[in-house]
Structure 1
Amino acid sequence: MKQNNQMIESRLKRAVDAAVPNILPELLLNIEKKEVLKMNDDHTREEVATKEKKTNPRRWFRTVAPIAAALVLVFGVWFGTANYRTDAVVAFDVNPSIELSVNRAEKVLKVNSQNQDAYEVVGSMDLKGVDLDVAVNALIGSMVQKGYISEMNNSILITVNSNDAEKDEQLQERLSANISSLLKGLSIDGAILTQSAHGSDDDLAEKYGITSGKATLIEQIAGQDPTLEYQDLVGLSINDLNLLIESRQIEQVRVKTSGQASEKDYIGIEQAKEIALAHAKVAMTDVRKMEIEFDSDKGHMIYEIEFYANGFEYEYEIDAKNGRILEFEKDNDDDYKKPEASIPAPSQETSRETSRAHTSTTQQAATTTTKAATSERLSAAGARSLVLNNFGGMIEKIEYSYNESEPLYKGEAVKPGSRVVFELNAITHRFKKWDVSNDNDWNKWAHAVPHMITMDQAAKSVISKSGQDNTFVQKIEFNWDNEEPLYQGEAFYRGHKISFEIKAYGGGFYKWDLDGGDETWAEKYYNV
């Protein structure tokens, strides 16, 4: 029975095995795969979780923030330092001397006024943080407004100093062009000098209270002309230095120039020559040789004149501004040879004819001389010069009074503590009247004299504006006013009369009235 039961179980097992496939190995394999997948999945989740933990923004920020802050601090300090660090120094010299320190963005960091004139130009302007071009326009405009730059004084020196030579040159060219354009808009033809200050002697600049740019220019002038002393050139304006460069033909290797320095602030070579000849009582036709040179003597511009006439050598130093004779020498001309004529002794008849001819010639010469004496007149410029040479100070007014037999220049001049009332004969060049009295009017405008044009310069402006070389300034008078001192008067040329008023500060015309159909010049002033 027991055996039968075992047989039945065995058969049932075989039947089940046959009916149901053996999937256990496959199940086990699947289970293993699932376990592996589960393990991989768990591992992946752990990695993701780990990454999530690692990429947590808070943790990242806490890690990176200190580094970023350090970088910001470093770059901030660097950027801030660069903006407040001087990248270039640009100096402007006219007579006011001003230096601008700028950063690499060409923003002004510092304004350095080198002299009292510079302080007046800068005034209350706050230029820190301003663009360089804007600051330059403001300073040049102020110089023009205050009379430091004008038709009489038109030279400007620009000096750039940085560690980049190429940048120096580019900045010089740009500023020169901008300033030239600005001045043209103000009816001034500028003479602009540009240079780099590399190698300049800063000790000399500091000693004399000038910019390194002006020191560099003076070093070059004095170095090439040993007759000029450094200390004598320090007090000259840039326009004066520019005139010396042009007059003496000094080559400036390191300086670039554009435009021509104005001589309108001075009496001019022709008037200086006329003053010397009038003083020596020599006609130009008798002069054998003449040399005239623009020069500087202890900070003042002068004309040096040397000429030979009638067996003598003459040397003059004449103040270029007012025509005053500063020095005069007259010596024998060792090279002079008096003309000799070898004439055979005439016969008696020839002698009579010669005598008659000589008498006739002498009478004609006398007549010619008389006509010349009555027709030639001392010029207005010559009259002003004679007054200043005898009195000094400045002429307050002078007027030509027409009289065929005795034409006179009448007027008044003033100086500290004194006034003179004069009458000067235009034919004999002698003073008919010379009354000196105590007077303190000079004190009213003494402070302004260095900043005003002279009466001679005002008269030259009238002649220049008229366009006629023979224009005669018949009268001119200085009229003092605290705000707007003027020169006013009248002038004549053929067929015209001019009434004028000129600003003593800068020389600009305040009034210019031109009337045609006036024959006064032809009747009275044609021979002056």
Structure 2
Amino acid sequence: MDKNFEKLLKESLDEIRAEDKLTAQTKAYLAQQIVQKKRRPRPALRAAAAAACLLLLTTVSAGGAWVYLTPDAYISIDINPSLEFGINRFGRIVSVESFNDDGQDLAEQLDIRYMDYNDALEEFLSEEAVQAYLSDGAFMSVTVACSDDEKSSRILANVESCTAGHSNISCHSANIEEMDEAHSAGLSLGKYRAYLELKELDPSVTTDEIRDLSMREIRDLIDSYDAENNEQSDSSGNSASENPDSGGPKNQGYHHGTGHGRHEDEN
């Protein structure tokens, strides 16, 4: 049996306190699936993994099932499709939620429930639709949300490693409260953070105006405002050098404020 899978299984069974007899039955079943791994195609493997997890859940108490199916961390992915993956304490995907029509279409194509989140992310990135977006110059935001800072950092590091080969993917971390605010606004976490960044530059912008925009379109709007503010700042700086009473420092201060907001989001 694969050591990592065996370790995961042991932790899961210890956590939910399955009865000894049922634990042995579950281990035997899962061991049989692993032995047959090399003889099965990938779709069959995913089906076997799902079946194994379902068997595990049926052999434990209701409380144990609740523990296994409850996410305690999330990965928000936004390109044009907006999706959020819920991750349980064992690093398995237990929920996939879409936030727009494109996200719903993509979610229906994905078969990642109960997969390790690293494998699920690789599966997502290999999807033909996602590859098409990325090769066409789309911008992807991946945001990790978790109440445990240590776990959040660990997941973020793994996500960054998984997406390292793509120059148009940006990874961030956030807290659960920010995610709740995003959901209250009807947005995914990644798009909500982009909205807040844009709102700093244009206070009149609303969530309805950006709801159906792709992340590339939102980033282009942010960049256009930044470019405009840079031009205004340069112009004000030149005027201030010619006329000390022209109010140049005030404009420079405004530019510094918006620049700081963007820097905070990107790090």
Q: Place the TM-score, normalised by the shorter chain, in its bin.
A: 0.5 to 0.7
The answer to whether the aligner puts 1:126 opposite 2:111 as a matched pair is yes
The answer to whether the aligner puts 1:225 opposite 2:209 as a matched pair is no
Change (3 A) 1:193 1:126: closer
Quote the residue 1:252 is aligned against. Answer: 262
Change (3 A) 1:224 1:193: farther
- Deviation, 1:109, is 0.7
**TM-score, length-normalised on structure 1?**
0.30
- Indicate the structure with greater helix content: 2
Question: Any idea what the Cα deviations from partners look like across 1:111-169, whole Å, max 9, x if unmatched?
Answer: 1122221133233432111111111112122265562222421x111122221123223
Quote the residue 2:154 is aligned against. Answer: 170
Equivalent AA in structure 2 for residue 180 of structure 1:
A
Instruction: For 1:145 and 1:90, locate their aligned partners in 2 and report how far apart those are by CA, in whole Å.
Output: 16
Change (3 A) 1:191 1:159: closer
Count of aligned pairs: 179
Question: Any idea what the Cα deviations from partners look like across 1:8-53, whole Å, max 9, x if unmatched?
Answer: xxxxxxxxxxxxxxxxxxxxxxxxxxxxxxxxxxxxxxxxxxxxxx
Which residue of 188, 193, 200 maps to 1:216? 193
Question: Any idea what the Cα deviations from partners look like across 1:312-342, whole Å, max 9, x if unmatched?
Answer: xxxxxxxxxxxxxxxxxxxxxxxxxxxxxxx
Equivalent AA in structure 2 for residue 128 of structure 1:
R
Calculate the aligned-residue CA RMSD, in Å: 3.1
Equivalent AA in structure 2 for residue 196 of structure 1:
A
Q: Return the structure number with greater relative CO, CA threshold 8 A, min gap 6.
A: 2
* Contact persistence 1:93–1:158 (CA under 8 A): yes
What is the SS of the residue equivalent to 1:121? helix
% identical aligned pairs = 18
Instruction: For 1:178 and 1:124, locate their aligned partners in 2 and report how far apart those are by CA, in whole Å.
Output: 21
Equivalent AA in structure 1 for residue 143 of structure 2:
T
Matches within 5 A, 1:444-459: none
Select the structure of larger CA radius of gyration.
1
What is the SS of the residue equivalent to 2:161? helix
Equivalent AA in structure 1 for residue 212 of structure 2:
G
Instruction: For 1:206 and 1:176, locate their aligned partners in 2 and report how far apart those are by CA, in whole Å.
Output: 28
Matches within 5 A, 1:16-95: 77=61, 80-95=65-80
Change (3 A) 1:199 1:82: closer
Change (3 A) 1:145 1:96: closer
- Indicate the structure with greater strand content: 1
Question: Any idea what the Cα deviations from partners look like across 1:468-514, whole Å, max 9, x if unmatched?
Answer: xxxxxxxxxxxxxxxxxxxxxxxxxxxxxxxxxxxxxxxxxxxxxxx
Between stretches 100-109 and 75-84, larger displacement belongs to 75-84
Question: Any idea what the Cα deviations from partners look like across 1:75-100, whole Å, max 9, x if unmatched?
Answer: 96565543222121111011101111
Between stretches 112-121 and 74-83, larger displacement belongs to 74-83
Matches within 5 A, 1:297-446: none
* Contact persistence 1:205–1:211 (CA under 8 A): yes
Which residue of 94, 99, 102 maps to 2:87? 102
Equivalent AA in structure 2 for residue 88 of structure 1:
A
Equivalent AA in structure 2 for residue 205 of structure 1:
H
Instruction: For 2:102 and 2:90, locate their aligned partners in 1 and report how far apart those are by CA, in whole Å.
Output: 28
Equivalent AA in structure 1 for residue 265 of structure 2:
V
Quote the residue 1:409 is aligned against. Answer: none
Which residue of 217, 238, 242 maps to 1:240? 217
Quote the residue 2:178 is aligned against. Answer: 200
What is the SS of the residue equivalent to 2:76? strand
The answer to whether the aligner puts 1:161 opposite 2:138 as a matched pair is no
Change (3 A) 1:215 1:243: same
